[in-house]
Structure formats: structure tokens, C-alpha cells
Amino acid sequence: MRQRTFCFIPLIVLLTTSTVVHAESALKKLHQVNKQLSHIENTVNGTQNKYNNTQRTINEVKNGTYAEKSVKRAVTKKKKKAVNSLINHSNNVIRKATNSN
């Protein structure tokens, strides 16, 4: 009876090892698919944003408000850029002043 039990041990070990190898391979493939899906999702979101921007521009051109809104967006961006630049410049000055002492 013992000999019969020992007969099955190599078979069980082989089956377990095979299952682990297949599971690892399946996990790798799932990870690759997940990365590809994320890339596709990012592409779709980018395309959707471009479409939305185009639709907004078309509506603004139809309404005759394109120039005003375009200038308003440009001014807003310039203001944000100027404020961020000033903050970065002051942070650099503070950092240099505190490092030199």
C-alpha cells in the first residue's frame, strides 16, 4: 500500500509544477493585455478630447464667439504661466539664499 502511495507523489509534484508554470505564464499575458488596454484607453481619451475641442470650436465659430473665447483662454493661460513663473523664481531665490548660509 505504501509503495502505491509513493507512486503518485512524482505525478502530483509534476502536476503542481506544471500548474504553477502555466499560471505564471497566464499572469504575464494578462499583464501584457492590461498594459495594451491602458494604452488603448489613453488613446481613446485623447481622441475624445480632440473631438470635444473641435466641436467646441465649431460651436464658437457658429455663434461668432470664437475670437473672444480664444483670446480669453490665451489670456488665462498667460496669467497662469506668469504666476507659476514668479512662484518658481521666488522659490529658487529662497532656496539659494537658505543653502548659502
Comparing CA positions, the residue from 82, 80, 78 lying closest to residue 90 is 82
User: Are the CB atoms for 20 and 29 separated by under 8 Å?
Assistant: no
Determine the pLDDT at residue 100: 60
**Entry pTM:** 0.47
Domain ranges of the chain: 1-63, 65-101
Q: For residues 88 and 30, what is the distance between their CA atoms, to the nearest angstrom?
A: 43
Return per-residue pLDDT of the chain as tens, 101 residues: 566 666 777 777 777 877 877 888 888 999 999 999 999 999 999 999 999 999 999 998 888 888 888 899 999 999 999 999 999 999 999 988 888 64
